[in-house]
Amino acid sequence: MATVRDRKGGRGEQDGTGDLYSVLLPTYNERENLPIILWLLVKYFGESGYKYEIIIIDDGSPDGTLEVAKQLQKIYGADKILLRPREKKLGLGTAYIHGMQHASGNFIIIMDADLSHHPKFIPEFINKQKEGDFDVVSGTRYIGNGGVYGWDLKRKVIRLYKKSVLQKLVENCVSKGYVFQMEMIVRARQFNYTIGEVPISFVDRVYGESKLGGNEVVSFLKGLLTLFATT
């Protein structure tokens, strides 16, 4: 079966020059973690030399996350830190969709703000993508030296997508909550997109408590059942 490829990019996208990586960072009550995650993102992007922008999608955090984000934007610059908040908590999947609508990059990286995935792995994701011209690159704990610390099935995985591939996947996804990322990889396999893998370590959140309450766990399980029924 033929492999679906992203053919929308020009010469710059093909040879890697001129690539821009848009990091989508949904937040809800992450005022303690946000300064750390941004510092690390800026550090590792700076060391790697890859061009980037970080899009913060805050869902009306009552702990002042957006105010912290505004201060960080002053430090790192409005060209690097983009604030695209929403008035209330509307779900992780819709946060990524919202962020993608404001992304300028031809590649998009989605990750969590709670430091469960370390930004140091991002250059490895980018290198892996370039190595095989992959449509999607996913972090996994099942190959190489990847590990897991305090991690459970509710955790998300850091992923890199060609923007046009992500747009196609979003158009076909039905999940809106925590199942969204899982469905994205399932749909990617359905469409025969090429998927590269990078071994990474997962850690439990550094500050704050998990956002998954009882109702969200139920929604997560329902979403899984729906995903299995439609794939």
Which is nearest to 46 in space by CA: 125, 138, 123? 123
Say if CB 24 and CB 163 are below 8 A apart.
no
Please report the domains of the chain, with CATH numbers, ordered by start residue: 11-230 (3.90.550.10)
pTM: 0.76
**108 three-class SS:** strand
Position 185 scores a pLDDT of 83
- The residues near 158 (Cβ < 8 Å, ≥ 6 apart) are 109, 110, 111, 112, 117, 121, 122, 125, 139, 200
Over residues 175-184, the pLDDT tens digits come to 666 677 778 8
Residue % of the chain over a pLDDT of 70: 70
**Band of residue 63 on the pLDDT scale cut at 50, 70, 90:** very high
Over residues 200-219, the pLDDT tens digits come to 875 544 445 545 444 544 55
